[in-house]
């Protein structure tokens, strides 16, 4: 195993998830220093290549979230510069960031998904593109940014989707709403760490529920049958492999236990899950006896090029 000493922690960036990334990055820097690494926080600006060239790290811990950090772009730069980096490579990062391409991979691998349509936001705003209830989400944002649930009886989708002030993706996914429970499974290498159920008193598990103190409750292990938990973990590993992911990922599910079908539906795979104090991956690692600092060490020691 290659030994790294100086680690640049990429954090912040220019996506809508900047503040979450800064929180993740601060935690990672502190943990890596605790483990004896020379950890350097690096907030990429207009010329991240120059910043990395001047920093001369042995490896990069990529704690960026969202576009320009989780979508294959920074990964491509790191490959060109031949700097070992954490998490998934160029192709798998790009595929996983685009929700419809992710579903294409899931479908090809025989994994369970619901029907979906991709359309321009203005078309989505005009009329129902499928029978409610359904969900509208940008195809390439994370942290539940820009998500709407359209329920039975709603006259039309939200008008702000068609507004000139809209600053997210113009390409939107419309997908069938799945009732039931919100589950998530972290995969570390080729191992599923556990199943967490996420509950919230808010309308759904949105950005505020994910990151505000008290916004959600994480139940680990999820109070579901052993068979359902095993199925979720097997599907998370299958999704990780189908997308060609590396390092740590987290796959989100809806578990519809409201009828006899007991559907376990994959929603998406996060190639760079949050590492904030309220994040799910550190919780699941702790559940199997791995501290936050040791988790960060494992992720760094897994770094490489050609991912």
**What digits encode the pLDDT tens for the residues 105-155?**
999 999 999 999 999 988 888 889 999 999 998 887 754 667 888 888 787
pTM score of the predicted model: 0.88
**Model pLDDT, residue 210:** 47
The three-state DSSP-derived secondary structure of 198-235 is EECCCCCCCHHHHHCCCCCEEECCCCCCHHHHHHHHHH
Q: Which residues are catalytic?
A: 17, 143, 211, 250, 252, 268, 270, 274
Residue 304 banded pLDDT, cuts 50, 70, 90: very high
Domain end (from 176, 201, 217): 176
Its domain, for residue 138, covers: 116-176
Whether residue 257 contacts residue 181, with contact meaning beta carbons closer than 8 Å, is answered with yes
**Model pLDDT, residue 152:** 87
Q: Is the per-residue pLDDT at 243 higher than 80?
A: yes
Domain end (from 176, 194, 222): 176
Q: 183 and 262 share a domain?
A: yes
Q: Is the pLDDT higher at 181 or at 259?
A: 181
**Model pLDDT, residue 203:** 57
Is 1 a domain residue? Answer: no
Is 307 a domain residue? Answer: no
Is 133 a domain residue? Answer: yes
Domain end (from 138, 159, 176): 176
**How many domains, in total, are found in the chain?**
3
Is 106 a domain residue? Answer: yes
**Model pLDDT, residue 138:** 87
Q: Is the per-residue pLDDT at 21 higher than 90?
A: yes
Return all residues near 36 (Cβ < 8 A) that are at least 6 apart.
none
Residue 273 banded pLDDT, cuts 50, 70, 90: very high
Kindly state the greatest CA–CA separation across the chain. 59
Degrees (nearest 5) of the Cα angle 296, 70, 288? 30
Measured distance CA(168)–CA(116) in Å, rounded: 19
Q: 39 and 103 share a domain?
A: no
Q: 109 and 190 share a domain?
A: yes
């Amino acid at each position: 195993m290659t030994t790294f000493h100086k680690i640049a922690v990429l954090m912040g960036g220019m996506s809508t998830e900047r503040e979450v990334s800064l929180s993740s990055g601060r935690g990672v820097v502190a943990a890596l220093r605790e483990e004896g690494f020379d950890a350097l926080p690096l907030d990429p600006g207009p010329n991240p290549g120059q910043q990395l060239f001047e920093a001369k790290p042995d490896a990069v811990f990529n704690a960026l979230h969202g576009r320009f950090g989780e979508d294959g772009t920074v990964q491509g730069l790191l490959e060109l510069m031949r700097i070992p980096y954490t998490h998934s490579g160029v192709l798998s990062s790009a595929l996983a960031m685009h929700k419809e391409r992710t579903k294409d991979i899931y479908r090809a691998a025989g994994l369970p998904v619901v029907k979906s349509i991709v359309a321009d936001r203005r078309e989505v705003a005009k009329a129902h593109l499928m029978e409610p209830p359904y969900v509208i989400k940008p195809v390439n944002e994370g942290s539940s940014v820009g998500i709407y649930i359209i329920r039975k009886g709603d006259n039309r989708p939200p008008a702000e989707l068609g507004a000139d002030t809209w600053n997210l993706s113009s390409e939107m996914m419309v997908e069938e709403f799945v009732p039931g429970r919100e589950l998530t499974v972290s995969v570390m290498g080729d191992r599923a760490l556990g199943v967490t159920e996420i509950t919230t008193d808010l309308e759904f598990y949105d950005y505020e529920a994910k990151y505000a103190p008290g916004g959600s409750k994480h139940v680990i292990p999820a109070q579901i049958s052993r068979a359902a938990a095993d199925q979720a973990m097997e599907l998370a590993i299958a999704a990780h492999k189908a997308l060609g992911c590396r390092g740590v990922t987290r796959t989100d599910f809806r578990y519809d236990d409201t009828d006899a079908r007991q559907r376990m539906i994959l929603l998406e795979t996060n190639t760079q899950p949050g590492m904030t104090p309220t994040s799910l991956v550190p919780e699941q690692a702790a559940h199997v006896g791995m501290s936050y600092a040791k988790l960060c060490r494992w992720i760094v020691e897994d770094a490489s090029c050609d991912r």
